[in-house]
Structure formats: C-alpha cells, structure tokens
Amino acid sequence: MTTANVYQQRPDDLSVKAESPLHHAGLGDLVGKGKGGAGIVLREKKLQGHLTLRGDGKDPAFASGVQQALGLALPAALTVVAKGEVSVQWMGPDEFLIIVPRGEEFAVEKKLREALDGQHIQVVNVSGGQTIVELSGANVRDLLMKSTSYDVHPSQFPVGKAIGSNFAKTSLYIRRTGEDTWELLVRRSFSDYIWAWLQDASAEFGLSIEA
C-alpha cells in the first residue's frame, strides 16, 4: 500500500473566514446593480476545491480508478466533463484538473488515493491558487473574441471544450460549459488584472453580477 501525507488544508467549519482571489472586487456588493438586459453576466465560482491529478491517462487501470472515485470518465484531450458540481478537465496527457464543491476536496483526494493505490500518481490541492469566473449571456462570445486570439466560433469551440490560451495580455484556461456559458480558470496572481479587463471589455454590452 502506498503511503502519502494527506491532510485537511481547509477547516470543516465553513464559518471560518476564507477569501477568494476576487474578494477584493466586492462582487457581492455589485449584485443587482448592473443594467437590465446586460449582454454579459459574471459570477465567480469561488472557494471550490481544485485538485491537480497526475497519472497515465492511457492506462485503463488509471482511468478505471478515477471513474470509481469520481463517477466520471476521464475526458478526452482538450475537453472537460462534468456531473453536477464535479468536473474533470484534461490539462495534458498525464494531468487532469478536478473541481469539486467547497469542503469536499479532502474527501475526494482520499477517494482518489484509495482507488489508485499502487499506481504512480500525484494529487495536489491547488484550491487557494486559482478561481473560476463564469460568463454567460448573449454577448459572451463577442467579449471572448476581443480578448483571445483562439477561435471561439461554435464550429471550433463546441460545448465541452477546454483549452489554455492567451487572454488579454496574460494566459488562462477557457472552458465552454453551455451554449451561452463559458468559464475562465484564472490564477490568483492574475485575478485583479482579469477583473479589470472584463469590466472594460464588456462595457459596450452591459455587465451584471450574479452571486
């Protein structure tokens, strides 16, 4: 049996103060203050559990173990699969990003280690280092076309696709989760810049904030 130092990085008591990468933006205070009919609706999916999993994506035993632990099959290259609030994103041939509801990351990590025991893997909790910004609305694709050189036309970027690309003057991951819903996986160090960029880039379409 493989042993590893696994510990609870986030207290079980959800009343303990925790600040997301966009805490400084005061998004909660902006809810309901945007113009009606805004073309862009923004929501930070904050304080979720983010786990980076490394292993041989071509190994049937690895794929089977992940499905046993998460109830989700490994995603194909450049895609993300989801079930409820749990998602798995392909980051590379041997790297996957797992996102789970806040407070569940410790239990999920233990499930993964148990299901993949004896295999050459790595599980790292990276929850504090990044966040997800969800964008929805009729003009999201227009905003993305102003922000990235990657082709976001539906024929090239269907629902379920996820890629790393340039965005404004930095880089992040773009995930399409619905017909008019996209997610930006943003590193904490870039969150302030991305928030400023999104405000400016969405000005012509109208921006509203959701909790």
Q: Tell me what percent of the residues of the chain surpass a pLDDT of 70.
A: 92
pLDDT-based confidence at 6, cuts 50/70/90? Answer: low
pLDDT of residue 1: 47
**Per-residue tokens: 12:** 């079980």
Q: What is the pLDDT of residue 34?
A: 72
Mean pLDDT, the chain, whole residue set: 93
> In this model, does residue 197 exceed pLDDT 80?
yes
pTM over 0.85? The answer is yes
Percent of the chain with pLDDT over 90: 87
Dist. CA 86–CA 102, nearest whole Å: 11
Domains delineated in the chain: 24-209 (3.30.1360.120)
Q: Write the CA distances from 154 to 5, 16, 131, 157, 162, integer angstroms.
A: 44, 42, 25, 5, 13
Judge contact between 64 and 118, C-beta under 8 A.
no
